[in-house]
Structure 1
Amino acid sequence: MEKYKIHIKYMVSLRCIIVVKEELNKLGIKFLNVSLGEVEILGKITKQQKDDLSINLKKIGLELLDDKKSILIEKVKNEIITMIHHSESLPIINFSDFLTEKLEYDYTYLSNIFTEVQGITIQQFIIYNKIEKVKELLVYDELNLTEISYLVGYSSVAHLSNQFKKVTGLTPSFFKHIKQQRQKYLKNI
């Protein structure tokens, strides 16, 4: 039986994978695997099924991708998101080597296309995602800033704090303080 891949934009979480699987099942589309941004289809998919899938995905904020540049950009984003948000620890190699190895493209090529299409650099995208992970870890309140810094791949707490403030306008400790104040306020309602 023939296999091929379709690519989906804006898949960023495990919940997205579950929702896409549900949509595929509703439409009777057989698949082998669903991962962030990609579905491996088993057999033929009719034009009507593809159109219906496209419509259903748009309703939930996802989008089928057709052009090669957009597909490549989504692969870059999904590798970064998976690495930062869904793995136990960050790889020891640097991000450029990691992406080159995973996607089998020269990093300069990936970087140029990413910046052209997204309007930000891959490095900025990585930083934004690392800061989101730091926010999540601060909200969980299970690790101290030194542990979070190490877990997210910063060389020091100072480096993490500087990037956090650049991106959010707040220090990590003030962010945590705001979260605690909000929780107190919500408890009193």
Structure 2
Amino acid sequence: MVCDRCILAVREILQRQNIAFNAIVLGTIELQSYMDPHQKEQLQKELEKVGFEIISEKNERIVKQIKAIILQEIFEAERERNQNLSVTLSEKLNFDYSHLSSIFSKTEGKSIQKYQNELKVERIKELLEYDELSISEIASDLGFGSAAYLSTQFKKITGVTPSKYKANNSNKRGFLDIF
């Protein structure tokens, strides 16, 4: 679940299934009580209809939480830039960063940093297509030290500079497996 519409869709499914819950936040549902296997199967079927799935294996759950936190950090309008991602993840998930990094790499086949950079590039593409912010403003908004560093990272992943990407309307944003 990566947006308010996603949360609303899940809320409606839970309500239709008469499944009591306390909260729904990015990537997580806090249920009021245990679901029996039949309820869980029915919920899974309904969630699949809208492109979601239930993640119950511990490492997969941790990876989904890491992705949700990274996504929130990138797309949240007012975020703190004082803290490194490693500190944020450790504090929010109550695990040592090296443990989280190991789980993520084994599950996803790439580092947390590489995933974060790929997601940032997709966000940069989106902001370039909106054409409302300069590259310097995008760099500042996404926590890059400078427009030059943003450009270097962008080119490393896409093969073109942000300016060339912006000038070439034939480029289309890719789909990143967020969850």
TM-score of the alignment, normalized to the shorter chain, above 0.5? yes
Find 1:66's aligned residue among 46, 53, 56: 56
Please name the residue that 1:141 is paired with.
131
Unaligned runs of 5+ in 1: 1-10, 183-189
Please name the residue that 1:129 is paired with.
119
Please name the residue that 1:179 is paired with.
169
Indicate yes or no: 2:88 matched with 1:104.
Answer: no
CA deviation map 1:117-161 (0-9, x unaligned)? 000100001101111121121122111111111110111111100
Partners of 2:88 and 2:33 lie apart in 1 by 32
Partners of 1:90 and 1:164 lie apart in 2 by 23
Structure 2 length-normalised TM: 0.89
Q: Check whether the contact 1:20–1:57 (CA below 8 A) recurs between aligned residues.
A: yes
- Cα distance, 1:104 vs. partner? 1.0
Please name the residue that 2:73 is paired with.
83
For this pair of structures, how many residues does the alignment match?
A: 172
Partners of 2:86 and 2:158 lie apart in 1 by 25
Paired letter, 2:96 = D
Distance 1:114 1:181, change over 3 A: closer
Structure 1 length-normalised TM: 0.84
Unaligned runs of 5+ in 2: 173-179
Q: Check whether the contact 1:161–1:171 (CA below 8 A) recurs between aligned residues.
A: yes
- Cα distance, 1:181 vs. partner? 9.8
Which structure's CA Rg is the greater one? 1
Partners of 1:144 and 1:122 lie apart in 2 by 27
Paired letter, 1:172 = P
**Share of identical aligned residues, percent?**
39
Indicate yes or no: 2:42 matched with 1:52.
Answer: yes
Distance 1:30 1:174, change over 3 A: same
Q: Which has the higher strand share?
A: 1
Partners of 2:65 and 2:56 lie apart in 1 by 13
Paired letter, 1:171 = T
Please name the residue that 1:6 is paired with.
none
What SS is found at the alignment partner of 1:63? coil
Q: Check whether the contact 2:165–2:171 (CA below 8 A) recurs between aligned residues.
A: no
Partners of 1:92 and 1:156 lie apart in 2 by 16
What SS is found at the alignment partner of 2:29? strand
